[in-house]
Amino acid sequence: MHLSLGYKTVSKHRSMIISASAVLLLMCVLLSLVTGAYAISINEVAEILASKVGFASKEGIAAEKMAVLWAIRFPRVVLGVLVGGSLAVAGACLQGLFRNPLVEPAIIGVSSGSALFAVIVIVFSSSIGWQLQSVFGAFALPLAAFTGGLLNTFLAYRLASKAGKTDISILILAGVAINALSAALIGLVIYYGDDHAIRNFTFWSLGSLGGASWSKVYIVGVFIFLSTVVMLSFPRSLNALAVGEAEAYHMGINVQRVKHLLLFFSALAVGAGVSVTGAIGFVGLVVPHLVRMLLGADHRILLPMAFLFGAILMLVADVVSRLVVAPAELSIGIITALIGAPFFISILMNFKKQRVL
């Protein structure tokens, strides 16, 4: 009886948090749509969206407001939801895969590898970039970023693996070394760039949703959406791996296959997102921890809620970046770093206390 009441209490608690999070995401979407130098009210947002789906007439709606909302702000919101959600899911998957809460895409080199290959395409657009674009078209930059992220991830994984087992301490140290090497190579590439390329990369490297457009959403959205859907399909495997690799193997989980697939699709999601928004750190670290504190470590709930919380964090950070130095915009990567860095330090302090005890 007591167990049943306890289970119902936990379920009610989870349901309330999930419902509140869904409402909060909707509020963040509306706030993002109405925030900006050009004033657009919520009623006007509703009218414009209704006209786009055929439920209302376009008459009486200012063409400028319709253009700002539909061509600038709405793709920005969609891109923010996709990138924020996928970064959080990738972080949750990597933490579950390696059974360590300190692991996230940026720490093990995914973001830096994506940034390295992206800056190569940007700086050498007249040679390497032009050849890639002639073959892959608009997919050249996302594919390059994905390739760099994947190479760095597997390099860190191989350095930390021995006899089928992964040493988490070595993985993190390998990530630190790979990030340093990637940063050095990025600096070397920038040395050969002109002022325009350097300015573009400097702004891009701090992260921003300011360059969002429907064409970019269509291009990277396919990569991000498919890779996120795949990662969301592994809750049972990640729950089994939480017990241990040997135990997961005896439960019928192909551990090596799960590792390779999750590393591949996390690199794909992060690489595609980085290619259009720049390097936005700490989302994959902060969000999974927050979800675990509120809803527990069951990946059946953790993964979808990580996507939801990641989207919320990204939209909130984007709105803050637009308001702090209005009418200019602050890079969104600065906001997420200001939130994530203290959170990361608190995690380290908790680990320190646990080891002392």
pLDDT at res. 3: 44
pLDDT at res. 99: 83
**Phi/psi of residue 296, nearest 5 degrees:** 95, 180
pLDDT at res. 5: 47
Contact present, 103 and 262 (Cβ < 8 Å): no
pLDDT at res. 280: 86
pLDDT at res. 23: 93
CATH of 3-356, one of 3.40.50.970, 1.20.58.340, 3.30.70.20, 1.10.3470.10: 1.10.3470.10
Separation CA 309–CA 22 (nearest Å): 9
What are the b/e assignments for 83-105, b being 16+ CB within 10 Å?
bbbbbbbbbbbbbbbbebbbbbb
Q: How many CB atoms lie within 10 A of CB 73?
A: 20
Angle formed at CA 222 by CA 89 and CA 155, multiple of 5 degrees: 55
What are the b/e assignments for 159-169, b being 16+ CB within 10 Å?
bbbeeeebeee
Give the total residue count for the chain. Answer: 357
pLDDT at res. 28: 94
pLDDT at res. 1: 45
Contacts of 38 (CB under 8 A, 6+ apart): 64, 65, 68
What predicted TM-score, i.e. pTM, was given to this entire model?
0.86
The tokens for 334 are 């600065």
pLDDT at res. 142: 73
331 dihedral zone (left: phi>0; alpha: psi -120 to 50; beta): beta
Separation CA 321–CA 106 (nearest Å): 21
pLDDT at res. 164: 66
Average pLDDT per 10 consecutive residues for the chain, totaling 357 residues:
51 82 93 85 84 70 82 92 95 88 80 84 68 67 80 85 73 87 88 75 77 86 92 94 85 86 87 83 88 89 95 93 82 86 78 64
Tell me the H-state helices in the chain: 2-34, 42-52, 63-67, 74-98, 110-123, 128-136, 140-160, 168-191, 195-206, 214-232, 235-241, 245-250, 255-277, 283-295, 299-324, 332-356
Q: Is 127 helix (H, G, I), strand (E, B) or coil?
A: coil
Contact present, 321 and 331 (Cβ < 8 Å): yes
